[in-house]
A and B are shown apart, each in its own frame.
Chain A
Amino acid sequence: MKPCKCERESLVIEAVRTGAWDADLRNHVAKCPACSDVALAALSLNEMRAVDEAESHVPDAGLMWWKAQLLAKRAAAERATEPITFVERFAYACGLFCFVGVCVWQWQAIRGWFASLKIASGNRPSLESIWHASYQNAQNFFTGWFDKSASLPKPSMTVILSVGVLLLFVAFAAYFARSEE
């Protein structure tokens, strides 16, 4: 269907919106099919608009302004604390990474620790026996760990220290970069 347009359509719309009809335009609408459709559609929709004008309760401008300011302040505060949140998350991730790393590295010792805990506690473990076994195993674990660390070849120790320092440096760099943003 090709749009058929009458040059007086805009006048009809304006007349419907303002309510200022003249006799000539009224006669034209009665004869012109395009303008008749426009008038019918526009009158119907403007009637709905008139109902809304009378019935709707929009909030006061002051309330809207206050709400917008509140939202903007909240957004600004969120932006300001974003670097802190980022570094916090990064620290949690580093902690988790280190924990998993230590678990993998010392898996044999940890497994032995749990196994001896079971043996020591026997069938009816008492709180005292569990505590004693845990203490003994923790002592053995850390002694063994430090002994191993000391006996590591020098390059390995250097690498571990370098990675640690690098992680620390990356965390600080990320913090400053994000806070500058």
Chain B
Amino acid sequence: MLKEFTFSEAQQLERAAGAVDEIFQMDEQTFRVFYDRTARPLWSYLYRTSGNATLADDLMQESYYRFLRVRFAEMNQDYMKNYLFRIATNLLRDHWRHGKVDPPAPASEKGIDREQPANTGGAHGFQLQSDVMHAVQSLKPRERELLWLAYVEGSSHREIAEVVGLKEQSVRSLLFRARNKLANVLRRRGLAAGGE
């Protein structure tokens, strides 16, 4: 619908559009550096936790948009990264809560019909990835979040607690249980830790 704006309204609109630069605390160059450092890890986190690549794309974009609107007291890279992951985690939960997409249910060990990982290491590599994928999918979404943050992102218990909104003590025990569960499933599938 077309509207006729008065002079003051037009001025107001112009002011609002001009205020966009003030909304973002970060300048473009700083954002580029931060984005290059965090985009792939964030996408991977969202994809592996949700099991849906399209959803991961959408949520990543929304996460960065919300992140850019936050005013940080200090521009600490690690703190900002954790904050970004916290936004992404909350968005994912909101998404599931509002029933837009069902959270990925823990899959039974057979009959998983989800996307298969790409084959990057021949037939053996594919089998290995497939086993790992199925084992990870047998976990609950929260367990995946905790394990990913702890073992892939290398976050401390305190940092994980901030990201997922739990107490540090709860993170410790949940992480322990999730790790045991994953290790048991992997062992049942004939995988063992050798140490590269």
Q: Which residues of A contact B (CB under 8 A)?
A: 1, 3-5, 13-17, 19, 21, 25-26, 29-30, 36-49, 51-56, 58-59, 61-62, 64-65, 67-69, 71-73, 76-77, 79-81, 84, 179
Residue of B nearest to A14 (CB): B154
List residues of chain B with CB within 8 A of the CB of A46.
Answer: 151-152
Contact assessment for A65 and B118 in the assembled complex, using a CB-CB cutoff below 8 Å: no
Residue of B nearest to A12 (CB): B195
Interface string of B128-148 (1 = CB under 8 A from A): 110011011000000000011
Contact assessment for A68 and B64 in the assembled complex, using a CB-CB cutoff below 8 Å: yes
Contact assessment for B154 and A29 in the assembled complex, using a CB-CB cutoff below 8 Å: no
Contact assessment for B31 and A65 in the assembled complex, using a CB-CB cutoff below 8 Å: yes
List residues of chain B with CB within 8 A of the CB of A55.
Answer: 118, 120
* A45 and B117 in contact, given A1-B176, A40-B186, A76-B23 (Cβ under 8 angstroms): no
Known interface pairs A44-B182, A68-B64, A68-B65; 8 further A-B residue pairs with C-beta atoms within 8 A, sorted by A's residue number: A3-B176, A41-B179, A44-B132, A44-B136, A48-B132, A61-B36, A71-B65, A73-B17
Report, as a range, how many residues of chain B touch the other chain. 35 or more
Contact assessment for A72 and B23 in the assembled complex, using a CB-CB cutoff below 8 Å: yes
Dominant SS at the B interface?
helix
Contact assessment for B195 and A21 in the assembled complex, using a CB-CB cutoff below 8 Å: yes
Pick from B17, B41, B118, B192: contact of A40, CB under 8 Å: B192
Cβ-based interface call for B32 (8 A) = yes
Contact assessment for B3 and A13 in the assembled complex, using a CB-CB cutoff below 8 Å: no
Segment 120-174 of B: residues with Cβ below 8 Å from A: 120, 128-129, 132-133, 135-136, 147-148, 150-152, 154, 172-173
Number of A-B contacts (CB under 8 A): 163
Contact assessment for B48 and A40 in the assembled complex, using a CB-CB cutoff below 8 Å: no
Q: A54, A61, A67: which has the most chain B beta carbons within 10 Å?
A: A61
What is the bound-complex CA distance between A53 and B13, given in angstroms? 42
* A80 and B132 in contact, given A46-B151, A52-B47, A68-B64 (Cβ under 8 angstroms): no
Cβ-based interface call for B183 (8 A) = yes
Residue of A nearest to B156 (CB): A10
Cβ-based interface call for B83 (8 A) = no
Cβ-based interface call for B72 (8 A) = no
Contact assessment for B61 and A76 in the assembled complex, using a CB-CB cutoff below 8 Å: no
Residue of B nearest to A22 (CB): B195
Cβ-based interface call for B102 (8 A) = no
* A13 and B154 in contact, given A29-B195, A80-B13 (Cβ under 8 angstroms): yes
